[in-house]
Structure 1
Amino acid sequence: MRTVVVAAVGEIPPGGRKIVEIEGRSIGVFHLADGYVALRNACPHEGAPLCRGALSGAVTSPAPGRYRYERRGEILRCPWHQWEFDVRTGRSWVDPDRVRVRSYPVTVDGTQVIVHV
């Protein structure tokens, strides 16, 4: 597995993202509340630049008439057709067992954010 430094710690603000090119692949690096994640910047539906989509959360319902907004900033919505993906895993929010986008491990080494491809 190859490691690539993609940013300095602090370069990507919390809740922000950076799109990088690694070995001909466009990859989005996201800074979540508890660390960094990286996804291939191509929606599996029709190849849209997925990582340019909106980040939102999930609405859950423990009982009729009761709703909670959870996982703020962890659901990525494709800018073309609004397909949604869990930014932590790359799995589709609607069909997680069959549809997903490639995710890459990310580590922080001192002052560098590193993607493992």
Structure 2
Amino acid sequence: MTKHIVAPLKEFPPDTRKLVEINGRQIAVFNVKGEFHALGNKCPHESGLLIHGQLVGLVESRMPGEYTYSRKGEMIKCPWHGWEFDLRTGRAQCDPARIRVRRYETAVVHGGDIDPDTPPKAAEVFAVRVEDDYVVVEV
């Protein structure tokens, strides 16, 4: 898989998101409390753009009137119809065995001969030496 630069780490602080296009694919990249996640940008229901969705937590219930709330900010809710997807897996909460959005690997890469003036969407990363911190997506 080829690695593509999303942004220098200093320009992608916690609790932000960026939309990138790589090889004609729109990918929504999220920095949730310093942990990076990347998903295909379209909801499989009716193609709502997930980059505009609300980050929510996981609500689970064993019985009526009883629920637990966990994993705050780790689920993305489609802005059109509210379908929720796990940022870690891409799986939908309504039917995780069958419905999902594509998930992409993310990493923070240290160094290399990476020219920060190269357009981030097209740059390939070849780590050579520690120089700067970059966020990359493997496609």
Per the TM superposition, whether the score is higher than 0.5 is yes
Is 1:116 equivalent to 2:138 in the alignment?
yes
Structure 1 residues 9, 98: closer, same or farther in 2, change over 3 A?
A: same
Distance in 2 between the 1:46 and 1:86 partners? 18
Q: Structure 2: how far apart are the matches of 1:10 and 1:96?
A: 34
Aligned-partner Cα distance in 2 for 1:79–1:21:
20
Task: Give how far 1:66 is off.
Answer: 4.7
* 1:107 aligned partner, one-letter code: A
Does the 8 A contact of 2:85 with 2:100 survive in 1?
yes
Counterpart CA distance in 1 for 2:25 and 2:64 is 44
Determine if contact 1:14/1:33 at 8 Å carries over to the other structure: yes
Aligned residue in 1 for 2:31 = 31
Instruction: Note closer, same or farther for the CA distance 1:62–1:97 as it changes in structure 2 (3 Å cut).
Output: closer
Q: Map Cα deviations across residues 52-73 of structure 1 (whole Å, 9 max, x no partner).
A: 1000102234677554321000
1:83 maps to 2:83:
yes
Stretches of structure 1 that go unaligned for 5 or more consecutive residues are: none
Distance 1:34 1:63 in 2: 34
Q: What is the SS of the residue equivalent to 1:4?
A: strand
Query: Match of 2:60?
Result: 60
Task: Tell me the matched-pair count.
Answer: 117
Q: In structure 2, what is the equivalent of residue 98 of structure 1?
A: 98
Cα pair 1:59 1:68 within 8 Å, conserved: yes
TM-score (ref. length: structure 1): 0.90
Number of the residue aligned with 1:14: 14
Q: Matched residue of 1:93: which SS?
A: coil
Which residue identity is paired with 1:51?
Answer: I
2:51 aligned counterpart, secondary structure: helix
TM-score (norm 2): 0.77
Render the CA deviation track for 1:61-87: whole Å, top value 9, x for unaligned: 467755432100011100111111001
Structure number, greater radius of gyration? 2
Q: CA RMSD in A?
A: 1.6
2:76/2:85 contact within 8 Å kept: yes
Kindly state the Cα deviation for residue 51 of structure 1 after the two structures are TM-superposed: 2.2
Q: Which runs of 5+ in 2 are unaligned?
A: 111-132
